[in-house]
Amino acid sequence: MGGETAVYEIRIRGHLSSQRAQQFDDMAITHLPDGTTLMEGVVDRAALCGLLSRICDLGVTLISLIRHELDELC
């Protein structure tokens, strides 16, 4: 159960530079007009923990994290 894969939407405050965005190459990144960045991707729990750790290491603010089951999207 701990390794289940799901689609995650992660929203952070600010826009990532192209160099910083490379740290999240497993995610689709969209800079939104409201000054936030949306990252979307299919990851398992371990990869999610790594993503959140990288966000924390960059010192950016996490605004939201939304999990979608894969079967919700089919």
In whole angstroms, give the CA distance from residue 40 to residue 24. Answer: 10
pTM of this structure: 0.85
Reported as a single tens digit per residue, the pLDDT across 5-63 is 899 999 999 999 999 999 998 899 999 999 999 999 999 999 999 999 999 999 999 99
Looking at the 3D structure of the chain, how many domains does it have? 1
Quote the domain boundaries for residue 38.
5-72
Strand pairing of 5-13 and 62-68?
Answer: antiparallel
DSSP 35-61: SEEEEEEEEEHHHHHHHHHHHHHHTPP
CATH number for the domain spanning 59: value is 3.30.70.1150
